[in-house]
Chains A and B, each alone.
Chain A
Amino acid sequence: MKNPSQNIQASVFQFILMIGLALLSTACIEEDSGPNSEKSGEFSLEFDNIVGEETFGLAPRTYTNARGEEFSITTLQYFVSNIKLYTESGEEYVVPQEDSYFLIQGSDRDTRFAKLVVPEGDYSKVSFVLGVDSLRNTMPVEERTGVLSFDPSHGHSGGGMYWGWNSGYIFLKLEGTCPLISDDQQGDPTGKKQFKYHIGGFGGYSAPTLNNIKEVTMDLKQGGLAQVREGLRSNVHLFVDVMQIFDGPNSFSIPEHPTVMFSDFSVNVANNFPGMFRHDHTENFSKGEEGL
């Protein structure tokens, strides 16, 4: 969907690039003078969904898990929150919580970035929560803004990432079909061969219950530090392997567990979540999203 303004942006971008190159060539290469924590730059975590060794796509595209079960995905959504950045010397930057909630939707690639403005720095580690922290799960409604709201234009579409009967957000929702699912009560009685994984559970409000909140920490040293500088964008590109939900340490069979929601078994599924995330590479000093 190219439009004229994008073309103009592109040519402006090229122009800036040329000037930049010209400046570089005259002033020799102005080596990055190091971060100044008084300044801020753009930072993003990119949640690039994949399925095993393939790119991500919704039905009718099919995949096959390690047990040889063929499946298609119709819905993939998950919350990411409470992002923290760490420098090599151990300094920590905690993103202000109210700016720290993102809903990544498989059906909309534009949602794959968690975009932030953070102090300049060379960050070697990043952590985030897959899900919504327990505190926010218990906050009054007016504190549940943005993707956490029920607002038709900003919220989690259709209110589908929240349990009304047992107040709390659904952290990850994966739905699809698998032809091996039976048509009886143990499978999908509607005969549509659907699987539904709605995983949540923040630990309970007045009585303790299961907690499926997962904090994920990504070491960036291998794939590249995130060098955040004013006026530039640093993007930490993560691969999020949906196949790990089935094939991770707590591997399970889709037709044996076609529906997992608020139940003890959900703990097994959630324990596969941290293994979904892999830091592939970092794009530093980027001038826009197009190049990422």
Chain B
Amino acid sequence: MLAPKSGFSILSKALPLLLLLAVVAWSCGRGEEEPELFQGFVQPEGFPEPLYNMSRNEVTKAGFELGKRLFFEPSLSRNNTIACGSCHIQTAAFTHHGHDVSHGIDDQLGIRNPQPIMNLAWSEGFFWDGGVFDLDLVAINAITSPVEMDENVPNVLRKLREHPEYPGLFKKAFGTEEITDARFFKALSQYMLMAISDQSHYDQVRRHEAEFTEEQLAGYRVFQKSCASCHAEPLLTDRSYRNNGLAPNPLDDQGRYDVTLNAADKYKFKVPSLRNWEYTAPYMHDGRFLTLNRVIEHYRSGLVDSETLDPVFRNEDGSIGIQMSDSEKEQLIAFLQTLTDRDFVTNPLLAEPVLNSPFNK
């Protein structure tokens, strides 16, 4: 994208000229000067060690760029209409804003609300039920689901091999033009690993770069008392699977039970991160709640008891739910608003590549 193709052969002789060309090509391509956005994978301050084995798949610029291109590539679907980015939209923190469940190929509906592509280096189970345990295997689910992409991986690899540009992009990323399943999955992982949200106001406070208002601080205390045991800091999830007292939906989605077939897992779903909740409505595994207010009211008074209801909701007086006054609720909302990371949803590094530019075609 930066330099003309022939530039490689004259690299050693004409380095200064090449650099000049690159600068010209760069500024022409985008119409403006852009600083280098790609800084590799940077461990956010205060985050735990990644659970993804980064040494097995070092994030490189070329690998990341390839992964980004693939993430927005509709050829991953049977009729070349649906890309990963179709249901994971950056402005919605990589969810499908406004959709209770995802819309896939031929406008078919899935059964669950798409989860954000966010801080996945720290995830150990993927999807609401944790059925996939390796980020590199995540794409298979979407590609092969009959209501999402309805394709199969060998066909996708065939399409990429026949594509005019992908063999070259794989060469840049992995050294040869060979398009294997492992390289394909790893490139996608490189893109997803870089979708890191750590720039919210909450994060700045965490790093002592800013301070909470009094209201936010009071809300933070409510959060720590009533929410943090599951929505653990700093990822705002403890990555566990729990039954949070939602009434079973008409499909009787039993969540983690479908993966483990263990009766103790019935109606358990992954605890989602609270980060960027302002962008990711609607909420819950089937998107049944449209607002944060409705979610909080669910925990205050809407829980449905069942055998697998998480014990954390059982109170000493025999009631179930989170006890919280109206003013505590207002304070909590003030705190939760500090979890919004505007940089994440506007980060140009993660944005869909502009493919009609002459330098990309």
Residues in A lying within 8 Å of B, measured CB to CB: 138, 140-142, 144, 149-152, 155, 157-160, 162, 164-167, 204-210, 262-264
Contact = CB atoms under 8 A, between A and B. Distances in A.
B181 A141 contact: yes
Interface stretch (B17-25, B96-104, B191-199, B257-265): B257-265
Nearest to B241: A207
A155 B154 contact: yes
A79 B131 CA distance: 22
Contacts of B141: 164-165
Given A152-B157, A204-B260, A208-B262, A167 B144 contact: no
B140 A205 contact: no
B152 A158 contact: yes
Nearest to B152: A159
B185 A167 contact: no
B176 interface: no
Interface string B117-153: 0000000110101111110110011111100000011
Given A204-B260, A207-B265, A160 B152 contact: yes
Given A140-B53, A164-B144, A157 B137 contact: no
A159 B145 CA distance: 12
Nearest to A157: B154
B127 A165 contact: yes
A149 B180 contact: yes
24 contacts: A140-B56, A141-B134, A141-B181, A141-B186, A144-B181, A149-B180, A151-B180, A151-B181, A162-B140, A164-B142, A164-B143, A165-B131, A165-B145, A166-B258, A167-B133, A206-B125, A206-B130, A207-B259, A207-B260, A208-B260, A209-B262, A262-B258, A262-B261, A263-B261
Interface in B79-130: 124-125, 127, 129-130
A208 B224 CA distance: 32
B125 A164 contact: no
Top 7 A-B pairs, shortest CB-CB distance: A150-B153, A150-B181, A152-B154, A164-B140, A166-B131, A164-B141, A159-B152
A138 B136 CA distance: 11
Nearest to A158: B152
Contacts of B134: 138, 140-141, 167
B54 to A, nearest CB: 12
B262 A205 contact: no
Query: Dominant SS at the A interface?
Result: loop
B314 interface: no
B30 interface: no
B42 interface: no
Interface of B: 53, 56, 124-125, 127, 129-134, 136-137, 140-145, 152-155, 157-158, 180-182, 185-186, 256, 258-262, 265
A209 B133 CA distance: 14
B260 A159 contact: no
Contacts of A210: 261
B137 A141 contact: yes
A177 B158 CA distance: 31
A209 B260 contact: yes
B182 A142 contact: yes
Contacts of B145: 164-165
A140 B186 CA distance: 10
Contact of A155 (B130, B181, B265): B181
A152 B158 contact: yes
Contacts of A142: 56, 182, 186
A167 B154 contact: no
Contacts of A209: 259-262
B132 A206 contact: no
B248 to A, nearest CB: 18
Contacts of A150: 140, 152-154, 157, 181
Given A140-B134, A207-B265, A166 B154 contact: no
Given A167-B132, A206-B125, A264 B140 contact: no
Nearest to A142: B182
Nearest to B131: A166
Given A141-B186, A151-B181, A264 B127 contact: no
A155 B152 CA distance: 12
Given A206-B125, A262-B261, A159 B154 contact: yes
Nearest to A138: B133
Contacts of B256: 207
Contacts of A264: 261
